[in-house]
Amino acid sequence: MNYSYVIIDDNQESVIETKAMADSFSELSFVGSANNYEEGLNLILENKPQLVFLEIDPKNKKSNLSLALINELYRYLNVIPQIIVTTSKKDLAFEAIQYQVSDYFIKPVTRFDMVKSLLKIGKSNIIDQTEPLKITSKETDPEPEEIIVPSVVRTETLGIQQEPLILCVKSYGDYRYIDTRDIAYFQADNNSTDIHLINGEMVTAFKTLKLFEGVLPYPFVRIHNSYIVNSNCISRIHTGNALCYIKNTAIKLPFSKSYKANIDLIISEISNGNYLEI
């Protein structure tokens, strides 16, 4: 069984090197490559590969390549490809882990890296398959105040049972752990953010709302300059009055025209579930 893959990297030499290594495995089938964020996103959406080799610290900053591409995929795809980060630095490894990438390769990609990654993917049954993944080489001689935010989107992705996403607000040795399922919405307060829980409690984090927007996945959606809402906590959306209603409360959050596309996304996602419209 073959597994399709794409390479998204602003360095063409790295693209060639990664492709040469991947092509030494008969299970991997090359689809294409891209050198920037927009082209990479289009390549993935058009071809829906099972594996993506992604550079997240590009030399050409205008390419806009980063982990943010992963969050964007969740807006359009029900099944997210496995992301293997390929970069030259270890600095972003922790952040990448929070996005639950499949692997993190330091360039140049080695054969041993690839073998371990494919075995891990096969063992975890991450890719839909009817039999265990077998790695076959085309070569004849194999080689011997801080906020911590794990960013994952849907627990049902690829049928994997994932742990609840935990947000840790850390301040002077005090670790406050918050199950993100218990968060109703985030509200900006100058350079800090108030985290409003479903039970009515509020926790203040001395980070901007923009930081949360950049790292939190769906169902958390920015709807206003001052608000990010947990879509699972919305009971009503009134487009005429530009208001979102929070379940089991009297709270109404405004949304602005500049974030209307995000409101449309929420409406679309809700209607894609177990849904009946009358």
Alpha helix (H) residue ranges in 138-274: 209-215, 260-271
In 10 A of CB 4, how many CB atoms? 16
Higher pLDDT, 171 or 63: 63
Higher pLDDT, 200 or 89: 200
pLDDT-based confidence at residue 74 (cuts at 50, 70, 90): confident
Mean pLDDT of the chain: 83
Q: Taking the complete model, does pTM exceed 0.75, yes or no?
A: no
Q: What are the percentages of helix, strand and coil residues in the chain, rounded to 5?
A: 30, 30, 40
Given this model, what pLDDT does residue 158 score?
A: 35
d(CA 257, CA 50): 36
d(CA 54, CA 85): 5
Domains and CATH numbers, the chain: 3-124 (3.40.50.2300), 146-271 (2.40.50.1020)
Given this model, what pLDDT does residue 32 score?
A: 95
Residue where the block lists tokens 């600095």: 91
